[in-house]
Chain A
């Protein structure tokens, strides 16, 4: 049990700080610069991304283990014996994940609108934006892998959640920096996005300090 919790803790620290999806893996840079102009929007976007990342990790784990991986658990294996032997990981991984995530976001949006209108009001405008966000696809692709070790569905979900928290953290830090940057007297050519790029690179440098902290 203790070892189990230790693994989860390592995954959380790793996804938030060491392998922060924005500042260490450079995924999801579009919303990172697009929505980080104000703190309110950053929080809304961060919550929506965290929500979708968690669900997408769990959903793609199911697809990965029961559709793509070779072996007796493959549901297509009984119809096509070839699939049970070779699997379809290298052929269909990306495209099937996109399909799953897009469906999932649409489904969540529909259900949320009916069952939790308040949540829909606060997250609703961000949900369609992140359907094919590369950070979310990245979390799904990197989470469902055998490379260091095969993860359980719980570990994958926790990793997705922690990656979302890391994304929110980066977005919040950036929005705070950019709100101050607005008041600076900068040369014309540096105003707006250029200075945001420079600040982001400095933040990424700072996050390099975490690298090697967790070997996972």
Chain B
């Protein structure tokens, strides 16, 4: 009985001592949290996607309260959230343009260098000599980006090339982070002309690897009325500050890598040109010399039209011989 009493008393004494100690400590080391911060945190979606550039919604709320961050950075919350946060902070939210992920590859008929039979993820495949594909810059076509996407906005088409569903994309940048070849860019949705290739090879070698490479022909550079596209390191690069998405380079590109990205296909090429082709079909035998030479080159990549078909064939002759010589 004595032992029980002593045990109870001493534990009670210790408990009360520690309790008071903690109470005093909490009072003394109290950290003031701005009521605005908790309010903002409640407004935010709370999925901690990191699209605002801060680690999690809590940190973003803290930065907004401090005034260090803009109120319109929450991508998943959209306009509604930024308006609410703006209301709490007494700031008017600027409209922030929606951004989407864009895959900078449009691989077509890329041959395998070897057969890869390991784990079916891009990161694992990339560890084996940079992946099994013939083009070392291009998309490996496994589904890392689709798996990591929190809103399931990425799907793989029948050619194993990922596509981004823009309505669902919240521009969190997770696909850009996981892609071992750094093929994704997060760009404003109003910019929809992209060079969808990352190949830094010269024209010939690039063409041997893929049917849709950037061959650094400089046609886009000449076609651009705004000085927005330049070829650097054998690759056309668009300066998105200057680009107005007018589509002149899309028309000029002979290999079909600069694309009007909306709908995921070269709108100008396939729709308009096919329509023109259909319209001028009856006239073709007569005007083939005149119009064909001016109109045809852009057509080359997609339809393998007659004029460019010859061009690709002549190129395919050295293609067959050089790899053998190299190997």
> Which residues of A approach B to under 8 Å, CB–CB?
63, 67, 76, 80, 82-83, 86, 88, 91-92, 95-96, 99-100, 103, 106-107, 110-111, 113-115, 183-185
Contact digits for B25-56, partner A, Cβ 8 Å, 1 yes 0 no: 11001110000000000000000000000000
Q: In terms of DSSP, what is the predominant structure of the interface of chain B?
A: helix
Among residues of A, the one whose C-beta sits closest to the C-beta of B4 is A91
Q: Which of A80, A100, A103, A113 contacts B6 (CB 8 A)?
A: A80
5 A-B pairs with CB atoms under 8 Å apart are A76-B9, A76-B13, A82-B2, A183-B121, A184-B119
Contact digits for B1-15, partner A, Cβ 8 Å, 1 yes 0 no: 011001101110111
Within 8 A of A (CB), among B248-303: none
CB distance from B158 to the nearest CB of A (A): 25
A96 CA to B18 CA, complexed, in Å: 11
A185 CA to B128 CA, complexed, in Å: 15
A99 touches B14 (CB 8 A): yes
* Chain A residues closer than 8 Å to B13, beta-carbon distance: 76
Among residues of A, the one whose C-beta sits closest to the C-beta of B2 is A82
A111 touches B15 (CB 8 A): no
- The answer to whether the Cβ of B307 comes within 8 Å of any Cβ in the partner chain is no
Within 8 A of A (CB), among B77-119: 118-119
CB distance from B9 to the nearest CB of A (A): 8
A106 CA to B14 CA, complexed, in Å: 15
B22 touches A107 (CB 8 A): yes
A83 CA to B9 CA, complexed, in Å: 12
Given contacts A100-B18, A183-B124, A185-B119, contact A111 B10 (CB under 8 A): no
A111 touches B25 (CB 8 A): yes
B22 touches A114 (CB 8 A): no
Given contacts A88-B10, A91-B3, A106-B22, contact A185 B29 (CB under 8 A): no
B26 touches A110 (CB 8 A): yes
A103 touches B18 (CB 8 A): yes
A110 touches B25 (CB 8 A): yes
A95 touches B21 (CB 8 A): no
B11 touches A103 (CB 8 A): no
A184 CA to B120 CA, complexed, in Å: 10
A114 CA to B119 CA, complexed, in Å: 47
A99 CA to B18 CA, complexed, in Å: 9
A15 CA to B119 CA, complexed, in Å: 39
Q: Which of B10, B18, B21, B118 contacts A92 (CB 8 A)?
A: B10
CB distance from A120 to the nearest CB of B (A): 9
CB distance from B177 to the nearest CB of A (A): 14
Among residues of B, the one whose C-beta sits closest to the C-beta of A83 is B6
A180 CA to B127 CA, complexed, in Å: 12
A96 touches B11 (CB 8 A): yes
A96 touches B6 (CB 8 A): no
CB distance from A102 to the nearest CB of B (A): 9
Q: Which of A76, A103, A113, A185 contacts B31 (CB 8 A)?
A: A113
A103 touches B22 (CB 8 A): yes
A96 CA to B9 CA, complexed, in Å: 12
A88 CA to B26 CA, complexed, in Å: 31
B6 touches A82 (CB 8 A): yes
A76 touches B119 (CB 8 A): no
Given contacts A82-B2, A91-B3, contact A99 B31 (CB under 8 A): no
With A99-B11, A107-B25 given, can you name 16 additional A-B contacts, CB distance below 8 Å? A80-B2, A83-B6, A91-B3, A92-B11, A96-B14, A99-B14, A100-B14, A103-B21, A106-B22, A110-B22, A110-B25, A110-B29, A114-B30, A183-B118, A184-B119, A185-B118
* Chain A residues closer than 8 Å to B26, beta-carbon distance: 110
B10 touches A95 (CB 8 A): no
A67 CA to B14 CA, complexed, in Å: 10
A76 touches B22 (CB 8 A): no
Among residues of B, the one whose C-beta sits closest to the C-beta of A185 is B119
